[in-house]
Amino acid sequence: MPHLEELKGQRVIMHLLASLIEQKNRILSTVLVDVEPAGIWIEGPDLAAFLHERFKKNALPKTPVFFVPFSQVGWIFSTADYPSLSEKGLGL
């Protein structure tokens, strides 16, 4: 099982408990930029699109990076470097 620190720079899928951006689903595909004791720094196209719409800009001079406290994270999904097998599919 990887530690959160080991996932820095990788794309992860996460569920936000609070609405960081105004969307119903609250599940984002993001890049984990950094990990701090109180939360994580993330960036991704959903977050950038939110700012583009909010400020009515087609481009921003820098990529937005958001800090999310751990208290607002429901779960984070990544992958491990070994196959995932279906017991049911294999008849087990």
Instruction: Give the model's pLDDT for residue 10.
Output: 92
Q: Where are the domains of the chain?
A: 4-77
Query: What is the pLDDT at residue 22?
Result: 59
Which residues in the chain come in under a pLDDT of 50? none
pLDDT at 12: 93
Q: Residue 57's CB: how many other CB atoms inside 10 A?
A: 10
Contact 48, 66 (CB under 8 A): no
Q: What is the side-by-side order of every strand in the sheet holding 73-77?
A: 66-69, 39-43, 27-36, 11-16, 73-77
Tokens at 32, concatenated? 């984990």
HSE-CB at 87 with a 13 A cutoff on CA atoms is 1
Residue 45 tokens, joined: 């196209």
Cα 38 to Cα 30: distance, rounded to the nearest angstrom: 18
Give the model's pLDDT for residue 61.
85
pLDDT (0 to 100) of residue 36: 96
pLDDT tens-digit readout, 49-66: 878 888 888 888 888 899
User: What pLDDT was estimated at residue 78?
Assistant: 87
Which option is the CATH number for 4-77: 3.40.50.1110, 3.40.50.800, 1.10.3720.10, 2.30.30.100? Answer: 2.30.30.100
* Number of helices (H), then strands (E), in the chain: 1, 5
